[in-house]
Amino acid sequence: MTAEARTAIPSVSEVPSAGPDFLADVIAGFSSNPRTLPSKYFYDERGATFFQKICELPEYYITRTEIDILDQNRADIASRLGPNIELIGLGTGAGTKTRILIEALESPAVYIPVDISEKQLRESTVLFQRIFPSLEILPVCADYLQPVVLPSPSRNVVRNIVYFPGSTIGNFEPSEATEFLRRVTNVCRPNGLPAVALAKAGGLLIGVDLKKDQHVLEAAYNDSAGVTAQFNLNLLVRVNRELGADFDLDQWRHRAIYNSAAGRIEMHLVSEIDHFVHVDEHKFHFRRGEKIITEFSYKYAPEEFAALSRKAGFEFVQMWTDDARLFGVFYFVVPM
């Protein structure tokens, strides 16, 4: 992601697809030890639908808890962010949480949602244009983990605020999270200018899943209705559909465990039999019990995440949380 050489992107459809990367990433992941599939590929149209269902499950506390935190603290959060801001949303999906935030903000100037799911991006943009007719909305369909040229707003803004909801930061290894957040600091500075050139320091509003009881965590990723299993297995459905692979879905099962030593949920697809799978011109042997890692989700104590963000160049301002301290919404600024 970069703030340099920002150019206007008038429509979502003009952003090029990252499709060819899918095959390369799958081949690389299946050739590694242990085998992996990048979690960013969860969110095709079918996967995005499954995730919406996950967010409504009783075991999956993350979405409803974050929404409650935003709703109950909206005035305080809006006061911290200030008026006339450029809000850059990373992976904001359907925009439920973003809507709460924008409704609370004082005269927001620009909203730039960046999301890999084109369908959700289009739908949320149409909705937001209807709800907030005076807000400039510049959608970008892209993988925000890669360099992204952000559109240039037509309005002057006081500061840039990057909004990263959910607990997606937990999908990064801690060292990768630090590097990603370092790149975000540049986005908080328009056109790469130093923070001293801003009227006010830019900032980051980010959702973080907090450390808690192992049983609560594992139940959230192994729901009784099996929706998370379908969401996980949809990765193989997508590999079959888009890359012509021959995975037999009946021979794979979902598993998610909490690794307390590493402080993370580990989500896998596990082979039930010894067999071969073909992808493009490649042939892969999967042993019975062999796993494909599809996601890590790190959980943080508040002081751990504040320290990690400090290494990336941010200064901690405030955290809002729920009574049970399940989840935290953190606000950081780039020091002047």
Question: What is the distance between the alpha carbons of residues 70 and 270, in angstroms, rounded to a whole number?
Answer: 37
Strand 327-333 and strand 315-321: the pairing is: antiparallel
Q: What spatial distance separates the first Cα and last Cα of the chain, rounded to whole Å?
A: 22
Helix (H, G, I), strand (E, B) or coil at 76: helix
Over the stretch 150-161, which tens digit does the pLDDT of each residue have?
998 998 899 999
Quick one: angle between helices 96-104 and 118-131, nearest 10? 30
Tokens 């975000």 correspond to 184
The tokens for 31 are 């050739």
Kindly give the confidence (pLDDT) of every residue in the chain, 336 residues in length, as a single tens digit, with 9 standing for 90 and above: 544 333 333 344 344 444 578 999 999 999 999 999 999 899 888 998 999 999 999 999 999 999 999 999 999 999 999 999 999 999 998 899 999 999 999 999 999 999 988 888 999 999 999 999 999 999 999 888 888 889 989 988 999 999 999 999 999 999 999 999 999 998 887 554 444 444 567 999 999 999 999 999 999 999 999 999 999 999 999 999 999 999 999 999 999 999 999 999 999 999 999 999 999 999 999 999 999 999 999 999 999 999 999 999 999 999 999 999 999 999 999 987
Question: What is the distance between the alpha carbons of residues 197 and 105, in angstroms, rounded to a whole number?
Answer: 23
| CATH code given to domain 1-314+322-336 | 3.40.50.150
Question: What is the distance between the alpha carbons of residues 4 and 301, in angstroms, rounded to a whole number?
Answer: 34
Distances (CA, A) of 157 to 131, 151, 274: 21, 14, 58
Return the amino acid letter for 91. G
DSSP 242-278: HH-----GGGEEEEEEEETTTTEEEEEEEESS-EEEE
Helix (H, G, I), strand (E, B) or coil at 134: coil
Helices (H), the chain: 19-31, 45-54, 61-72, 74-81, 96-104, 118-131, 174-187, 214-221, 227-243, 302-311
Question: What is the distance between the alpha carbons of residues 40 and 218, in angstroms, rounded to a whole number?
Answer: 21
Candidates 320, 306, 314; CA nearest to 188 is 314
What residues pair up with 284 in beta bridges, in sequence order?
277
